[in-house]
Chains A and B, each alone.
Chain A
């Protein structure tokens, strides 16, 4: 049943899952990027649902924009990752601590 509560709950849960994915994962940067994608998805899902709910097209336009931005972001992120791997031969997050305060 696609009710208001369900939709918002689903998107919020998705968002929280993604945050937890970032936090709880201490090692793999790929999983962090993936949970970032989930974050984008939850946000765009929320936008789409609310555009339908409020009967406003702007939400869907934003969702489309977010899609493109997410695609661009993940491509750049992966590119950085590749460059980083080429230099350091590892992508373990724990070892990325060269810039300390």
Chain B
């Protein structure tokens, strides 16, 4: 049963991929959806067994690689952490499959799309069920590849190609550091199995890695590289640039990959490696800083975006920041809780966005929408639910996880961080709550409530989607409403035994209890901020107050909004600083100077021209004049006689004698 969870999507993908032509459009869609539904039902069962009955399952199939002490087998670990991820992945994947049956109905390559979606699901499942790092890395790279294929699904589009390449390459930077982390883990622990690494991690607390005469704390170095891997996959600040660009793919893809599953792999890695990370305060500190900065940055950028999907993409980026900094505060379970909740409302938001885009003839710019509330009441309702869940409206899903994260950041007594960093994280988190509320409601207003800016022809064609498209929305909306409340108690409830041994929190870092007893006025802070955001967004849109029209602050505001709209020019800076320089280096130095220049000059081309040139000169010595021949003959005899002593001493020396060679070349040049 446990293995069937994995094999069903693989089977479905292979069948729809290779036999999609025979299955036909609907055949492929229905078949693949059936496979994922089966996988989802089985993971419900797995969740029941592992989570509720506390029976973690550990399967080892067969050896994969064996070389000396290095041995990797195909092993599958189903513990609580894995099962939570299983549910998230399979539920979102199933709903996205259902959704895309209708959404991709008119696409000529529907079977291919389904195959890609399924292979993505399969690799994601491999990632989360692996019991060793190598197999985890297989899934990690697999989802990277599948995300490339999916973003690039409409491969005739230039921008899709470019974004897919960007996603793959930027991810690869993180993957590279993850692989370095894996190498280091093998170097230190002599194994890549989770059970060995996690159970022996405390023993290596005093071990060091020596590199180039420097001494590194082993666990810190390993965790640092793993964290950098997570930065790439989870789009934290620094390597976040790929995520908003990945919106070039079809909308279900964005919902599946860039909202619910692939980007959470980085957070999953951090949670999975909690037994290691707990021993490295430095990396935890980095996680807090990176996470909170990402949350703030992304939510701020989201405010000034005008693309429907990009706003949600930045929202994802921001929420991932929350998860990462929550991990940095050593509250991995809360991070997981937010991850699973976030999957629901973010998939909901993306699928709603897809529905909207579908309804108004593939228009993505929210400035060209408006008053869709009259045409798409259902989409509006579920999107409002998603938005309220996202901004942490009380008693919706986001409230239970996000506000708890913010409360955790406000703990002032037994924290594992210094006060300054803590308040840094806390204020950035709270401010990003404000921005989150603002951009979410800006999105709602501009799309649904404000006056329409669309063409009448388009307005006439606006229609609510069919059942297959709004059914997933309804399910996800129900999830966004209730999942947080339902699962709160066994995810983060006090003294919950749900997590068993899958997450390790150092006792001195465990601050859950204190978060419960924070002063009430502090607990109100996120709600006040989000209310402020909603009020501001409402007042700007209802009163129709144009912030740009005020002359006094016009220039500053324009510049500022332009700056943020262009994502703080980080992409441009990256292009200027890294990409262009590396490309320039690649072209001028390694290609032109080395490959075609230096090596050619000293290699084949140079030697051949040298031989040609000097052989011509040498043959010019034969003038046909007998006297010249005689001259050379006599000269040769004289030189030979002069060299005679050298011949007597060393047989090989005269060949290399520079005087002889010098004379020779002198003759050639003089000629």
A22 close to B624 (CB less than 8 A): no
Query: How many residues on the B side are at the interface (Cβ–Cβ under 8 A)?
Result: 13
Q: Does B544 contact A (CB under 8 A)?
A: no
Contacting chain B: which of A6-14, A47-55, A89-97? A89-97
B631 close to A23 (CB less than 8 A): yes
Q: Does A26 contact B (CB under 8 A)?
A: yes
B620 close to A22 (CB less than 8 A): no
Task: Give Cα A93–Cα B622 distance, bound, in whole angstroms.
Answer: 15
Set A19, A26, A97: member contacting B624, Cβ < 8 A? A97
Q: Give every chain B residue within 8 A of A99 (Cβ-Cβ).
A: 622, 624
Nearest neighbor of A98 in chain B, beta-carbon distance: B624
Q: Give every chain B residue within 8 A of A19 (Cβ-Cβ).
A: 634
Q: Does B374 contact A (CB under 8 A)?
A: no
Q: Does A86 contact B (CB under 8 A)?
A: no
Within 8 A of B (CB), among A1-41: 19, 22-23, 26, 32
A23 close to B624 (CB less than 8 A): no
B625 close to A94 (CB less than 8 A): yes
Task: Give Cα A23–Cα B663 distance, bound, in whole angstroms.
Answer: 21
Total A-B Cβ pairs within 8 A: 32
Q: Does B206 contact A (CB under 8 A)?
A: no
Within 8 A of A (CB), among B617-635: 618-627, 630-631, 634
Task: Give Cα A93–Cα B634 distance, bound, in whole angstroms.
Answer: 18
A101 close to B621 (CB less than 8 A): yes
B620 close to A101 (CB less than 8 A): yes
A97 close to B623 (CB less than 8 A): yes
Task: Give Cα A93–Cα B623 distance, bound, in whole angstroms.
Answer: 13
Q: Per-residue CB proximity of A61-101 to B under 8 Å, as 1/0?
A: 00000000000000000000000000000000110111111
Q: Give every chain B residue within 8 A of A97 (Cβ-Cβ).
A: 623-625
Task: Give Cα A19–Cα B637 distance, bound, in whole angstroms.
Answer: 13
Nearest neighbor of B628 in chain A, beta-carbon distance: A97
Nearest neighbor of A101 in chain B, beta-carbon distance: B622
Nearest neighbor of A93 in chain B, beta-carbon distance: B626
B627 close to A22 (CB less than 8 A): yes
Task: Give Cα A45–Cα B631 distance, bound, in whole angstroms.
Answer: 25
Task: Give Cα A32–Cα B630 distance, bound, in whole angstroms.
Answer: 11
Nearest neighbor of A32 in chain B, beta-carbon distance: B626
Known A-B contacts A19-B634, A23-B631; A96 and B619 likewise in contact (beta carbons under 8 Å): no
A96 close to B620 (CB less than 8 A): no
Nearest neighbor of A100 in chain B, beta-carbon distance: B624
Within the complex, the shortest CB–CB distance from B621 to chain A, in Å, comes to: 6
Q: Give every chain A residue within 8 A of B621 (Cβ-Cβ).
A: 101
Task: Give Cα A93–Cα B621 distance, bound, in whole angstroms.
Answer: 17
B623 close to A23 (CB less than 8 A): no
Nearest neighbor of B625 in chain A, beta-carbon distance: A97
Q: Give every chain A residue within 8 A of B619 (Cβ-Cβ).
A: 101
Nearest neighbor of B618 in chain A, beta-carbon distance: A101
Q: Give every chain A residue within 8 A of B631 (Cβ-Cβ).
A: 23
Nearest neighbor of B620 in chain A, beta-carbon distance: A101
Task: Give Cα A70–Cα B621 distance, bound, in whole angstroms.
Answer: 30
Nearest neighbor of A22 in chain B, beta-carbon distance: B630
Within the complex, the shortest CB–CB distance from A3 to chain B, in Å, comes to: 25
Q: Give every chain A residue within 8 A of B620 (Cβ-Cβ).
A: 101
A100 close to B623 (CB less than 8 A): yes
Q: Give every chain B residue within 8 A of A94 (Cβ-Cβ).
A: 625
Nearest neighbor of A97 in chain B, beta-carbon distance: B624
Most buried by A among B623, B626, B630, B631: B626
Within the complex, the shortest CB–CB distance from B159 to chain A, in Å, comes to: 65
Q: Give every chain B residue within 8 A of A26 (Cβ-Cβ).
A: 627
Within the complex, the shortest CB–CB distance from B482 to chain A, in Å, comes to: 98
Task: Give Cα A99–Cα B618 distance, bound, in whole angstroms.
Answer: 15
Most buried by A among B621, B623, B625, B631: B625
Task: Give Cα A26–Cα B631 distance, bound, in whole angstroms.
Answer: 12
Within the complex, the shortest CB–CB distance from B154 to chain A, in Å, comes to: 68
Within the complex, the shortest CB–CB distance from B658 to chain A, in Å, comes to: 26
Task: Give Cα A93–Cα B631 distance, bound, in whole angstroms.
Answer: 14
Q: Give every chain B residue within 8 A of A23 (Cβ-Cβ).
A: 627, 630-631, 634
Q: Give every chain B residue within 8 A of A32 (Cβ-Cβ).
A: 626
Q: Give every chain B residue within 8 A of A100 (Cβ-Cβ).
A: 622-624
B630 close to A96 (CB less than 8 A): no
Task: Give Cα A26–Cα B630 distance, bound, in whole angstroms.
Answer: 11
Task: Give Cα A40–Cα B630 distance, bound, in whole angstroms.
Answer: 16
Task: Give Cα A98–Cα B625 distance, bound, in whole angstroms.
Answer: 9
A101 close to B626 (CB less than 8 A): no
Q: Give every chain B residue within 8 A of A101 (Cβ-Cβ).
A: 618-624
Task: Give Cα A22–Cα B620 distance, bound, in whole angstroms.
Answer: 22
Task: Give Cα A99–Cα B626 distance, bound, in whole angstroms.
Answer: 10
Within the complex, the shortest CB–CB distance from B622 to chain A, in Å, comes to: 3
Nearest neighbor of B622 in chain A, beta-carbon distance: A101
Task: Give Cα A100–Cα B627 distance, bound, in whole angstroms.
Answer: 13
Within the complex, the shortest CB–CB distance from B631 to chain A, in Å, comes to: 7
Task: Give Cα A96–Cα B626 distance, bound, in whole angstroms.
Answer: 8
Task: Give Cα A32–Cα B623 distance, bound, in whole angstroms.
Answer: 19
Q: Give every chain B residue within 8 A of A98 (Cβ-Cβ).
A: 624
Task: Give Cα A101–Cα B621 distance, bound, in whole angstroms.
Answer: 7
Within 8 A of A (CB), among B575-625: 618-625
Q: Give every chain A residue within 8 A of B626 (Cβ-Cβ).
A: 32, 93, 96
A96 close to B624 (CB less than 8 A): yes
Q: Give every chain A residue within 8 A of B625 (Cβ-Cβ).
A: 93-94, 96-97
Within the complex, the shortest CB–CB distance from B436 to chain A, in Å, comes to: 87
Q: Give every chain A residue within 8 A of B627 (Cβ-Cβ).
A: 22-23, 26, 93
Most buried by B among A19, A32, A97: A97
Task: Give Cα A69–Cα B626 distance, bound, in whole angstroms.
Answer: 22
Q: Give every chain A residue within 8 A of B618 (Cβ-Cβ).
A: 101
Task: Give Cα A3–Cα B605 distance, bound, in whole angstroms.
Answer: 63
Within the complex, the shortest CB–CB distance from A52 to chain B, in Å, comes to: 26
Task: Give Cα A97–Cα B627 distance, bound, in whole angstroms.
Answer: 10
Within the complex, the shortest CB–CB distance from A84 to chain B, in Å, comes to: 12
Could you list 27 examples of A-B contacts with CB < 8 Å? Answer: A22-B627, A22-B630, A23-B627, A23-B630, A23-B631, A23-B634, A26-B627, A32-B626, A93-B625, A93-B626, A93-B627, A96-B624, A96-B625, A96-B626, A97-B625, A98-B624, A99-B622, A99-B624, A100-B622, A100-B623, A100-B624, A101-B619, A101-B620, A101-B621, A101-B622, A101-B623, A101-B624
Besides A19-B634, A101-B618, 9 more A-B contacts (Cβ < 8 Å) are A23-B627, A96-B625, A96-B626, A97-B624, A98-B624, A99-B624, A100-B622, A101-B621, A101-B624
A-contacting residues of B (Cβ < 8 Å)? 618-627, 630-631, 634
- The 9 A-B pairs at the shortest CB distance, nearest first, are namely A101-B622, A97-B624, A101-B619, A100-B624, A99-B624, A97-B625, A22-B630, A93-B626, A26-B627
